[in-house]
Amino acid sequence: MTLTVRLKPELEARLAQLCAKRRVTKSEIVEGLIREYVAREPQASSYEVAAKLGIAGIGRGPRRPLGRNAKRLVRAIVDAKHRR
């Protein structure tokens, strides 16, 4: 993928100096920084994922263990959503 970034001349000069010093390309520096930035993004919790899928809070309480039927329940919900 190609990405174009406009830098102020001072910053571009500093980046060029850093690349020459480390013997790496500008792309390698920028890609590394983007990887670090993306890695810091918080991951969604399991509840947030379930809420997004519309399956959060499907149980009425701990009357019976849902673990035994979880796969069947999730499949039923997904199938119902696709039928709409």
Checking phi first, is residue 42 left (phi over 0); if not, alpha (psi -120 to 50) or beta? beta
Q: How far apart are CA 56 and CA 54, in angstroms?
A: 6
Per-residue pLDDT tens for 44-65? Answer: 788 887 777 777 766 655 556 6
Return the domain boundaries, the chain: 9-39, 46-83
Closest CA to 52 of 44, 42, 60, 62: 44
pLDDT attached to residue 35: 93
**pTM, 2 dp:** 0.48
Per-residue pLDDT tens for 17-52? Answer: 999 999 999 999 999 999 998 888 778 788 887 777
Region of poorest pLDDT, from 8-12, 31-35, 50-54, 78-82? 50-54
